Copies of this chain bind each other. A is one copy, B any other.
Amino acid sequence: MSRKPADELSRRERQIMNIVYARGEASAAEVQSGLPDAPSYSAVRALLAILVDKGQLKHRSEQGRYIYAPTRRRSHVGRSALRRVLDTFYEGSLEKAVAALLQGSEANLSPEELARLSELIEQARKEGR
- A residues with CB within 8 A of B: 1-3, 7-11, 15, 18, 21-22, 34, 36-37, 74-75, 77-79, 81-85, 87-90, 93-95, 97-102, 104, 107-109, 111, 113-118, 120-122, 124-125, 128-129
Residue contact B109 to A124, C-beta cutoff 8 Å: yes
Copies per complex? 2
Residue contact A114 to B125, C-beta cutoff 8 Å: yes
**Cα–Cα distance between A11 and B98 once the two chains are bound (Å):** 28
B contact residues around A2 at 8 Å (CB): 36
**Cα–Cα distance between A120 and B99 once the two chains are bound (Å):** 7
**Cα–Cα distance between A122 and B92 once the two chains are bound (Å):** 22
Given A9-B11, A15-B7, A124-B109, also A98-B78 (CB < 8 A): no
